[in-house]
Structure 1
Amino acid sequence: MSTTLITNIGELTTNVGGASAPGDPCGTLRDAAVLVVDGRVAWVGPADEAEDVSSRFARSTTREPSVVERGSEATETKRVDAGGGAVIPGFVDSHTHIVFGGDRADEFEARMTGTAYAAGGIRRTVAATRAATDAELRARLAGFVAELHAQGTTTFEVKTGYGLTVDDEARLARLAAEVTPEVTFLGAHVVPAEYAERREDYIALVVGDMLDACAPHSRWVDVFCERGAFTPDESRRILDAGIARGLLPRVHGNQLGPGDGVQLAVAVGAASVDHCTYLSDADVAALAASDTVATLLPGVEFSTRQPYPDARRLIDAGVTVALASDCNPGSSFTSSMPLMIALAVREMGMTPAEAVWAATAGGARALRRDDVGVITAGACADLVLLDAPTRVHLAYRPGVPLVSRVWKDGAELTPA
C-alpha cells in the first residue's frame, strides 16, 4: 500500500460544491491536509487532524499484525510539508492537438504584422505530419507530455486531424492512445488538398474507412464546423457516424465568426463545444439549457489577435465553462494552463476562482469525468502544489513558473 500525507496546506482548492457554489466555486479549505492512498484521495480535512486520521487509516487497513511488526512494508506514510503553499487539482486540458510534425512560426510572425488567421494553414501541418516517422512523432509527443506535466496538467485530451488519410489518422490515434485515454478522432479537421474538388469523396472516407480505423483507439469524435472547414450538414453526418460507432461527440464551433456549431453541439448532446468566440443570444440560451460545456481557448485569441470570448456573459447565463490550451502549431502553440487562467481573468471577465475551476473541474466536465479536477475522497490523486500562498497568484503573477510539485494518481511527477 502506498500512502502520502500532504499537510500544512495554506489554501486547498477542492472544487467540492461546484461552479454554482455562491462566492466560492473552488470549495476552499484553509490550513488543510490531504491523505493519498494507492493513487486515490482517501481523506481531506484540517491539518491539525491529519496525523490522527493517517494513523487511524493505517491501523484500519492493516490486516496482519506481522505486517505492522515488520514496519513500513504496508503502512509507512510519506509526509510532504506544503510549507503554507496552495494546492489545487491537476489541470484538465480538454483540447489539444499535440501529435504533429513541422512548425508554423512563420505564420505567427505574419499574423503579428497584419495577416489574418485562416483555417487553411492546417494543411501545411498535415504535409509535415505525413512526412514524419512514428519515432519522430512519438518523441515529440513525449516532449509535449513532459511539458504539460511540468506545468501542472495531469489529464489531457489529444486529437488526430493532421494525417487526413486512413493510415495517417489511425497512427495518430494510436500514438495518442499511448499517452492518454482521452483520444479524439478529428478526421474532419479540414478537407485535404488532394480532395479539394472531391469534398463528398473525402466525407465518405471520414465516415467510412477512416472512422473504422480510428474508432478502436478513440473515445471521442470531433468536427471543425466552420467556414473553410465543414458545413453544419456535413458536420452532423460525421458526428452521427461517430456516435453510431460508440464515440462521444464534441465540436469545434463559432471560432471565426457566427455559425451553427453551438446549436449543432447541443442538438447532438456533445460534451463540449470549443472556441465559442462569436455567440448569439440564442447560442448562449441553448448552452445554458443543456449539459454541453463551453470550452474557451484564450491561447488562440492571444496568438491570432481575434476578439476574446465573453466568459462573463456565459457564466452569468448559467453555462458551464471550461478552459483549455488548444495547443497546436498554428493558432495556439502553448501548453500552459496557467497562461490560460491569466488570460481568462485579464481578458474574458472571469474571477481567479472561476478561471481555476474552469481549468480543472470545468475541463473534467468537458471530458465527462468526475474522478479528476476535484480533490475529494475517491478522486484520482492528481494534485499540484504552488509556490504561492493562493491560487490567485496564477493570474496575479503571469509567466512565473509557480508549479512546484505535481502528483498524478498519487505518483510524483516533479520531485522536489
Structure 2
Amino acid sequence: MTPAGPPARPAPEPRPDSEPTADQATKDAMSSPTTDSPAHSASTASTLITNIAALVTNDPSLGDRSPLGLIQDAAVVIDGERIAWTGDQSKAPATDNRVDAGGRAVIPGFVDSHSHLVFAGDRTAEFNARMSGRAYSAGGIRTTVAATRAATDEELEANLTRYLREALGQGTTTFETKSGYGLTVEDEARALRIAARHTDEVTYLGAHIVSPDHAEDPAAYVALVTGEMLDACAPYARWIDVFCEKGAFDGDQARAILTAGKARGLHPRIHANQLSHGPGVQLAVELDAASADHCTHLTDADVDALANSRTVATLLPGAEFSTRAEWPDARRLLDAGVTVALSTDCNPGSSFTSSVPFCVALAVRDMGMTPDEAVWSATAGGARALRRDDIGRLTPGAYADLALLDAPSHVHLAYRPGVPLVTGVWRRGVRVR
C-alpha cells in the first residue's frame, strides 16, 4: 500500500499574456504559482529555444539515455507555462517565437528543497570567531530568534525577497523555506504567512530548538509545538520539520511532533544526523518523511533504510563548508541506491549562501559526486525531496522552469566554481532573467 503523499496544491490561476518588469519579476517570479499577478504571467504564445549545445532533461528515455537524458544540439519548446517538446534542433516544430541559445547549455531550474529564509539580522561575529578559531559564547540560533521577533513583517519580507533575488539570479526556480526563528505561536505563524506569499513549499519548523522561553521545561514546549502553535501554523504550511539532534529534540520528541503534524495534514521532513549519529534517519524512514536532511553521521543500517524507502537524503554542503565540519559521504549513499538531493540550507548561522551552483561545486570537489550526479541532485533530486514531478525536469508536461548557462556544458558548474554562469532564467514559461 503506497503511503499518502502531501496535500495537493491548488491549481494555477490563468495568467494574462504580458511580460514582467525587472523589479516586479524578481519578486513574483519566485512566488507561488497560484499568485494572481500580471508579473507572474506566462505567454499564451509558444517559444522555441534552439541552438542549445547540451540540454539536460533529467529524462533517461531521452538523448544519451543517462539519468540526465542529455541531448546534444538540442531545442526545447515552451507553450504557456509548460514544456511542450524537447529534442534534436533539426526536428523542432514551428512556434510563435524563437530564442537562440548561442551554443550554450540549458538545464532545469534548480530546486532548493531546504532553506531558512524568514529571519532578521546576521551572525557575522559568530562566523568570524569560528573561522578565527576563537571561542564564541553568544546565542547561535537564539541570536536570530531575538532579531526575528524584533523585526516588522515588512522587514522580514524584504529580507526574504532579497535572498530570493539572489537565488533566482543563480538559477533557482523553486524553493522550500521554513519557519523556526520565532518560536512563539504568533511569530511562527507570521513567518509562515510571509513565506506562503512566495512559495507553496512552506515548512513549519517550530521544533528548530526549544524556545528560550521554555528552556527549563522542554516538555511544555513540545506540547505547545504540537498543540496551539501547530493549530496556528498548519493553515500556511505544507510540511512539518524537526531538528532531531542532541541539544534540540530527541527521537521520542521528534516522533510526537511529526506525528501531530501528519494528523493535521502536514507531511514530515527532518533535520537528521548532522552533528552526531542519532535516530533521525530511522525515524524519517519510519514516518515516510519526504526527506532526511544533512545525513552526515550514518551507520550501514541507516544507509540501507534510506535505500529501501521513498525518503530522499538531502545533503547541504554549504553547512559543512561554513562550519568546517565533516563532509557527508555522498558517494556511499549513491552507491547504495539512495536518492540524493542537494540544497543550500541558506540560513544566517551555518550556511549563509543562496547559491545552488556553489553547492554543486562543493559536492563534486568534497563529497564524492560526479558533475552529472550533482546537477541531477540539485534539480530532479530536489523535486523528489518535495515529492514533485512537475519540476526538476525538462520534458513535455513539466513546468517550463529552466536556466541558460554561459557555458557549453552543465559540467562547468563544478569546473568553474564561483563564476556566475547562469545567464538566463525562465520560470513557468516566463523569462525572468
Taking structure 2 as the reference length, what is the TM-score of the superposition?
0.88
Given the alignment of the two structures, is residue 54 of structure 1 paired with residue 94 of structure 2, yes or no? Answer: yes
Of the structure 1 ranges 301-310 and 22-31, higher mean CA displacement relative to structure 2 is found in: 22-31
**Residue of structure 2 equivalent to 1:153:** 172
- Retained in 1: the 8 A contact 2:64–2:70? no
Question: Out of 2, 15, 26, which is 2:68 matched to?
Answer: 26
Percent identical among aligned pairs is: 66
Distance 2:137 2:385 in 1: 26
Pair 1:200-2:206 in alignment? no
| Contact 1:119/1:228 (<8 A) preserved | no
Q: Report the equivalent of 2:37.
A: none
Q: Structure 1 residues 119 and 23, CA, compared in 2 at 3 Å: closer, same or farther?
A: farther
Q: Residues 4-403 of structure 1 correspond to what in structure 2 (within 5 A)?
A: 4-17=47-60, 24-50=66-92, 53-54=93-94, 77-115=96-134, 121-403=140-422
Higher helix share: 1
* CA distance in 1 between partners of 2:137 and 2:334 (Å): 29
Q: Per-residue deviation at 1:2?
A: 2.4
Q: Deviations over 1:376-398 (max 9, x none)?
A: 00000001000000000000000
Alpha-carbon distance change, 119 to 382 in structure 1, aligned in 2, over 3 angstroms: farther
Please tell me whether Structure 1 or Structure 2 has the larger radius of gyration of its CA atoms: 1
SS of 1:355's partner is helix
Contact in 2 for aligned 1:120/1:228 (Cα 8 Å): no
DSSP-derived class of the 1:81 partner: strand
Q: Does 1:2 align with 2:45?
A: yes
Distance change (3 Å), C-alpha of 1:115 and 1:314: farther
**The residue matched to 1:224 in structure 2 has which SS?**
strand
After superposition, the C-alpha distances for 1:151-172 in whole angstroms (9 at most, x for unaligned) are: 0000000100000000000000
For 2:84 and 2:65, the matched residues in 1 are separated by 27
Work out the CA distance in 2 between the residues paired with 1:269 and 1:48: 44
Q: Aligned Cα RMSD in Å?
A: 1.5
Q: Evaluate the alpha carbon distance shift between residue 344 and residue 118 of structure 1 in structure 2; reply closer, same or farther with a 3 A threshold.
A: farther
Secondary structure of residue in 1 paired with 2:53: strand
Deviations along 1:224-249, whole A, 9 cap, x unmatched? 00011001000000000000000000
How far apart, CA to CA, are the structure 2 residues paired with 1:413 and 1:277? Answer: 36
Q: Is the 8 A contact 1:90 1:154 kept in 2?
A: yes
- Aligned counterparts of 1:119 and 1:26: Cα–Cα separation in 2: 45
* Contact 1:117 1:304 survives alignment (8 Å): no
The offset of 1:119, in angstroms, is 11
2:393 aligned counterpart, secondary structure: coil
Q: Secondary structure at the match of 2:140?
A: helix
Which SS does the other structure have where 2:86 is aligned?
strand
How many angstroms does 1:198 deviate by? 1.2
**204-213 or 22-31, which moves further after superposition?**
22-31
Label 1:289 to 1:120 Cα distance change in 2 as closer, same or farther (>3 A).
farther
Unaligned residue ranges in structure 1 (runs of 5+): 56-76
- Secondary structure at the aligned position of 2:52 is classed as strand
d(CA) in 2 for partners of 1:255 and 1:269?
A: 19
CA distance in 2, matches of 1:301, 1:353: 21
Cα deviation for residue 145 of structure 1 reads 1.0
Which of structure 1's runs of 4+ aligned residues deviate more than 2 A? 21-24, 114-120
Paired residues, what number? 389
Q: Label 1:8 to 1:355 Cα distance change in 2 as closer, same or farther (>3 A).
A: same
Q: Distance in 2 between matches of 1:32 and 1:400?
A: 24
